[in-house]
Amino acid sequence: MPPKRQSTDTPGNASKKSKPAASNTDEPVIPRGKRWSKVSGSANADDGYRLQISKPEAYAYLCLCKPLHDRGESEDVWDEEDDEDEDEETADKEKQPACDYGETCVCLKPAAEHPEHPWVITRAATHKLNTLRIMGSLRDPDGFGMYTYNDHFGYGLVELAQNLILDFEEAKGDWKAVGRGDADPLFQVDDGEGVAALINTLGIMFLTMLSTLEREGLLKPDSEVKSVGVVMAAFIRLIAADIGPDFGIEGDGLDKKLLAYAKKQNIELKGLSDIESELEEPRAEAEEIVIPAADANNGDPWAWQKALADYKKQYGPTIGGDKLDITTWTSAERKKASFDKKDPLNKKMIDAIKEGLIMQPA
């Protein structure tokens, strides 16, 4: 577990660039959640995100290039013992246009203009991803020229994941915005049991999301939730191929349950290379999974409320928040951990945070 630190409402914030959370004085005022410190870069980023998703256009779908880690690349491609396979793999890779953020690739183009492209995301989800990246940078001591302890950034990502759980709890099962980012440091923290518990709780949350879609009639092949097949496939790969083998986390059979949902609702799992070869074994085991009715257990078929209460009891009493966000620390705390024993935040930066500006890496 990370070293304990008192919550503080004293000044702090960081980074190199700032922008207002709301540039128009006519923008609605979004009440700030109680999980945040009074002065907090994370809180400002969350305010900006919630303002963006309050707009109707936030739920329009956009295209994304297939993620780089799923372009068929692997360490085996670069094995010098098999130059022929390397050349063939490289040629296949070169057939895929490089992502240039929409200049020539499909990134951020309207999904309606590319109906066959599987990787789609709502504007709200892009805002969420950007917000998570900003929040992650505020929990990285290296970015501030500081050293605290080895797993500060990893536990910072745990804190972000816990905030996703709190987001879901506060939204009462709202399914609209789904995001995904690089969380490898999360799995490198020294509390493997805690990470396993977190992943299993997130798994139950995802199953609850699917049951909500099913109850609303949105878990189907022609659903208005256009990314459901890709997101389900990505979660299956994460649990079955990435987390499971590398970190010994079973995910409580999440991959089989997702496959059972896909079969029940005739959802095509798509958008990932070689996904079918990875599904052969879990798909056979998924035949024995019985998916509970969406309205079972008073509308909580996967016992989400119990899972959340159990997780909070074991890892609380409070979870999430911004204790590992360096912008919430006192100047004295930052100076103590700084390599040059100076506060990495100057007065201008601190004042910007107090004014609600969003701080992010340059």
Is residue 287, in this structure, part of any structural domain at all?
Answer: yes
Cβ atoms 338, 344 nearer than 8 A? yes
CA distance linking residue 244 with residue 22, whole number of Å: 42
CA distance linking residue 95 with residue 92, whole number of Å: 5
**What are the average pLDDT values for consecutive 10-residue runs of the chain, which has 362 residues?**
52 47 56 91 95 91 73 39 44 59 87 89 89 95 95 94 91 55 53 81 91 93 89 81 58 83 92 75 82 94 96 93 98 98 96 93 64
Is residue 192, in this structure, part of any structural domain at all?
Answer: yes
Joined together, the tokens standing for residue 42 give: 């994370």
Looking at the structure, do residues 13 and 132 belong to the same domain, yes or no? yes
| Domains contained in the chain, number | 2
Which one-letter amino acid corresponds to residue 360?
Answer: Q
pLDDT of residue 288: 86
Looking at the structure, do residues 319 and 191 belong to the same domain, yes or no? yes
> Which residue is associated with the tokens 């930052």?
334
CA distance linking residue 195 with residue 212, whole number of Å: 25
Looking at the structure, do residues 190 and 224 belong to the same domain, yes or no? yes
Task: Count the Cβ atoms, other than its own, within 10 Å of residue 132.
Answer: 22
Looking at the structure, do residues 273 and 344 belong to the same domain, yes or no? no
Is residue 293, in this structure, part of any structural domain at all?
Answer: yes
Joined together, the tokens standing for residue 17 give: 């660039």
Domain around 215? 182-324
Is residue 230, in this structure, part of any structural domain at all?
Answer: yes
> Which residue is associated with the tokens 């590319």?
114
Looking at the structure, do residues 318 and 349 belong to the same domain, yes or no? no
Which one-letter amino acid corresponds to residue 335?
Answer: K
User: By C-alpha distance, which of 30, 38, 34, 47 is closest to 13?
Assistant: 38
Is residue 153, in this structure, part of any structural domain at all?
Answer: no
Cβ atoms 158, 184 nearer than 8 A? no
Is residue 155, in this structure, part of any structural domain at all?
Answer: no
| First-to-last C-alpha distance (Å) of the chain | 31
Strands (E), 109-261: 120-122
Looking at the structure, do residues 312 and 345 belong to the same domain, yes or no? no
Is residue 254, in this structure, part of any structural domain at all?
Answer: yes
Looking at the structure, do residues 207 and 306 belong to the same domain, yes or no? yes
Cβ atoms 113, 54 nearer than 8 A? no
pLDDT of residue 41: 97
Looking at the structure, do residues 186 and 320 belong to the same domain, yes or no? yes
CA distance linking residue 263 with residue 108, whole number of Å: 30
Is residue 175, in this structure, part of any structural domain at all?
Answer: no
pLDDT of residue 131: 93
pLDDT of residue 43: 97
Looking at the structure, do residues 319 and 339 belong to the same domain, yes or no? no
CA atoms within 13 A on the CB side of 234: 19
Looking at the structure, do residues 318 and 190 belong to the same domain, yes or no? yes
pLDDT of residue 153: 95
Using DSSP's 3-state secondary structure scheme, residue 358 falls into: strand
pLDDT of residue 302: 96
